[in-house]
Structure formats: structure tokens, C-alpha cells
Structure 1
Amino acid sequence: MITRRSFSILALAALTLSGTAFAQDANVIRAVTDATFPPMEFFKDGKRTGFDIELTEALAAAAGKKIEWTDIDFKGLVPGLVSKRFDIAVSAIYITPERAKVVDFTDPYYAGGLVVVTKDPEIKTLKDLDRKYVSVQVGTKSVNYLKENHPLVRRTEVEKNQEMFNLAEIGRTAAAVTGKPAAKLFAQSRPGFRVLEEQLTTENYGIAVRQDRPELTKELNAALVKIKANGTYDALIKKWFESPAQ
């Protein structure tokens, strides 16, 4: 017979077990990305892949942890860390002073920068973008960079990375401004497209980490040193940036 007291004990036990079940596993890193930016992160045959994805998995393995991935729009990555929904954000994120005010960053893991990709033969320099429509992705540095440094450029802001390229491909915009790795991969796969030699910026990518997880930043930095020493990092660089397009 279950008395009121025994029922209360059972209920308390159930709540305790429930709390344990929903507590975060210390060996699991909750990572968030916007997997629409090849070769850094994208879906192929229904599977998330790319340099950032494989790098993060390698870092987690070196640290003795596992990754639990979530996909959201790029503009929500940093807010997702601030609200503590996720532990890290990995999505070709530039290390900037503005972002560093609200999130921590690991040591840089790859040097990138903003470039122009176009198929318009009349566009040879950045100055040629003046008064032309240029597509950029919302939430990326491309938006503010053009606003502050090239105010005569007519920005067309879109939610998704692929939309940005699509507009340039169908001629709705004269060019797209985005990160160098993605721009080069797109130009390789589309006849007539090219990346201008003149680069807008040269910047570093880093993994964004919640500010209340300094130990995680240290673990990831130590793991980065480890995979660079054992050859894993170089193998990923060769696979994603030196081999033929994936």
C-alpha cells in the first residue's frame, strides 16, 4: 500500500531523477552554427559537414568531450551564447572588439577576411561597387563594413548565405561581399565568377564561448595546440582549402 508519505518520497525521487536527466552532461559541449556557409559549415547529403564542423569535432575529441550541434540563423549565434542556450558558437565568426564585449573567443584558428565575388566584368576594384547593388548576409561584418567604409554601395541584406550568392548569380546584385573561403569555393563552382584580388579586410576566425565558461575556452585552446602538433589540423586545412571543391 502506498501511503501519502511514501507517495511524497516517490515523487521527490522522481523529481530528483528528472533533474538529473535534464542536467547538462559535463562531457558534452552544446555547439551552435549556421550551416549554410561552405566550405566552413554546410549540409551535404543530409549531413552537417565542413572545415568548422570537423575542426570542432577534432577539438572536442582532443579534450575528451562530445559535441551536441544545433543549427540557427547566423544573427542568433551570439545572442544564443549570451542567453546561455549554448556553450560555443562555431560558424566562421570573426573575432571583433564588439563581439568580445559579450562573448569570449578561443585563440584564432584560421585567417580569413572579407572579399568581393562577382561575374560583372566591369567590376575590377572596390570603387566600382559604388552605386551598385551588393548582396550581404544579415548579422555578418559585411553589413557594417560596407556601411562605414563604402556608403555609396547599395546593400541588399538577406537572411541566408545562399540567398546572397543567388542574387549575384541571377544578376539582381552586381556582387556579393562575404568571407574569403566561401567566396573562393563559390567562384570555383560557378563559371564566370571571380574573387577580386583586392581584399577588404584580413581577420581571424575564432570559436565564440560563453563568458561564464572560461575553463572551456582554456580547454579548447589546449586542444587546438594538440591537434596542430599531431597533424590533424594540417590534414583538415589540406582537405577543405587545398583539395578540389567538396
Structure 2
Amino acid sequence: MRSISAIALALGLVCAAPTLQARDWATIKQTGTLIAATEGAYPPFNYFQGGKLTGYEVDVMEAIAKKLNLKLDWRTLGFDAQVAAIAQDRFDVAIASHGITEERQKSVDFTLPHYCSGGQIVAKPGGPLKAAELQGKTLGVQLATTYADAARKVSGAKEVKTYPKDTDAQQALLGGRIDAWVTDRFVAQTAVQKSGNKLKSGELLFVERVAMILRKGNPELLGQLNQTLKDLNSDGTLKRISEKYFKEDVTCLN
């Protein structure tokens, strides 16, 4: 999932400042600003519309900041660089569709999941749409994602090609360089709707819980984020944001 946005570079949103010191909740509250990261190249979750950063996860983070009475300082950078950047304290939290995995939990802490999704097969009409049909096929996925992990586990797949951006994998499918693309089910839904019948969605290869990430050992910030998610779920805010982008409630705080 995701890579650095050229638009973000042009706008100066990519973190170019010296490495920050780790910030606990007291420091964040005192400064009045939460530094949040995303990719900005993963519609409908986080992307640029013209020069404006938008999407489901952007709206969720803005709702969290508002609830905490904080301003937001957005940073954008490649998805595959975000876990390492958290360890360098370049931002306080990232919301960029990180699936919760045991491997990632070795490096970062996860909040409660803000949505549940899964890895879906996408192909051109007549292409493979079921896991059983992927034998001997070439699959395309974004580098360093849970979709890449799932694709490598497909029995009998001929090859798994990785791409810097999810949209690169999509273009490879449209260009006939791969037989199927594995991506988030909501990304698949959006791509199929916009394709003019050039793409079809198929089976889910797996289901996953998706959450924000932050540096390990920051319990007060983690607690604040989790409680705010619970509050936004209770008052219906998360449901409203979800239905704005997906026409359904994708929230799952468990």
C-alpha cells in the first residue's frame, strides 16, 4: 500500500525537518498540535484531490484531533517507510491503512482498529476472480503490504510482482502485464466503479483489521487515541464518515 506523493512534495508536506524527539501525550497537549502521517496516494482512504489531502482516514484523523482539541500537522511519505519513520520520531501517529500483523507489532503499537477490510482479487473481464483460478497466474500487489504476503501464499501462482504504489499494480493489470491484482476491498470497489467495465472484483483472499500506528512505549498517547475512537464510535461520527465514502459502516473497534 502506498508511496510518496509528487503533489505532497510540491506542497512541502513531506517531512524534511530534522528528526523530532519522541513526544508523549503531555508534550502534544502542551503544544496543541498532533503530528500525523499518511501516504496521500491511496484512494478512497487517503489521497490528494487537487492540492487538498482528503479521504476516509484523513476525515477520521481530523475528527480525532477536533475531539482532543488539537490542531493537525500532516506529513506524507511512502507507506513502506512509515514504520521506520515512527521509530525515528518523525511524527506522533500514522493513519495509512496498516493491517494489524504480528510482524508489525514487533516494531510499532497499534490503536484499536478504525475499520475492517480484506484483500480482494481484481481482474479484467474473463480473468481469474477466485483463489482457485490463480494457479499459473501472475499477480500484482503493492510492496510491503499484507496483500503481498497473501499473494505469496496463493497455491500454484506463477509469479508475484510488487510495485511501489497500489495504483502501479492497477495499471499493470489494465496494461496486461499481470493477470490479477490483490488490493483492499474498498480500493477494489472504487477502482471497479471507475473502470468503465474494464475491471471486475472477485473473492476475498483474507480479512484484516486496520489501525493507526505509533511508536512503542507511548501508553498515554495510545490511551487517548483509543478512547477518542470509542467516543467517536459512540456518538456516530465514525459511522457518518464511513458512510460518506463507502455507503456502509466499515467501523470495527475490536
TM range (shorter): 0.7 to 0.9
Alignment CA distance shift 1:85-1:151 (3 Å): farther
Q: In the alignment, which of 182, 188, 198 is matched to residue 183 of structure 1?
A: 188
- 1:238 aligned residue: 243
Instruction: List per-residue Cα deviations over 1:47-72 (Å, max 9, x = no partner).
Output: 11000000011011111222211111
The reply on whether 1:199 has 2:213 as its aligned counterpart is no
* Structure 1 residue 23 displacement after superposition: 10
- Output the amino acid matched with 1:132: K
Normalized per residue, the structure richer in strand is: 2
* Structure 1 residue 73 displacement after superposition: 1.0
* Structure 1 residue 230 displacement after superposition: 1.9
* Structure 1 residue 171 displacement after superposition: 1.4
The reply on whether 1:55 has 2:60 as its aligned counterpart is yes
- Output the amino acid matched with 1:159: P
Alignment CA distance shift 1:23-1:130 (3 Å): closer
TM-score (norm 1): 0.84
- Output the amino acid matched with 2:50: D
Aligned residue for 2:45, secondary structure, equals: coil
Distance 2:36 2:156 in 1: 35
Normalized per residue, the structure richer in helix is: 1
Aligned residues: 221
Aligned residue for 2:206, secondary structure, equals: coil
Distance 1:56 1:84 in 2: 18
Distance 2:153 2:139 in 1: 15
Sequence identity (%) = 28
- Output the amino acid matched with 1:228: N
- Give the RMSD, CA atoms, in angstroms: 1.8
Unaligned runs of 5+ in 1: 1-21
Distance 1:151 1:101 in 2: 30
Instruction: List per-residue Cα deviations over 1:68-94 (Å, max 9, x = no partner).
Output: 111111100111111211211111110
- 2:18 aligned residue: none
Q: Larger C-alpha radius of gyration, 1 or 2?
A: 1
1:34/1:73 contact within 8 Å kept: yes
Distance 2:155 2:148 in 1: 10
Alignment of 1:65-84 (within 5 A): 65-84=70-89
TM-score (norm 2): 0.82
Distance 2:154 2:173 in 1: 21
Aligned residue for 2:83, secondary structure, equals: helix
- 2:132 aligned residue: 127
Aligned residue for 2:205, secondary structure, equals: coil
- Output the amino acid matched with 2:116: A
Alignment CA distance shift 1:171-1:34 (3 Å): same
Distance 1:138 1:90 in 2: 18
- Output the amino acid matched with 1:116: I
Unaligned runs of 5+ in 2: 1-20, 249-254
1:119/1:194 contact within 8 Å kept: yes
Alignment of 1:222-233 (within 5 A): 222-233=227-238
- 2:115 aligned residue: 110
Distance 2:210 2:165 in 1: 19
Distance 1:68 1:150 in 2: 44
Distance 2:188 2:121 in 1: 8
* Structure 1 residue 177 displacement after superposition: 0.5
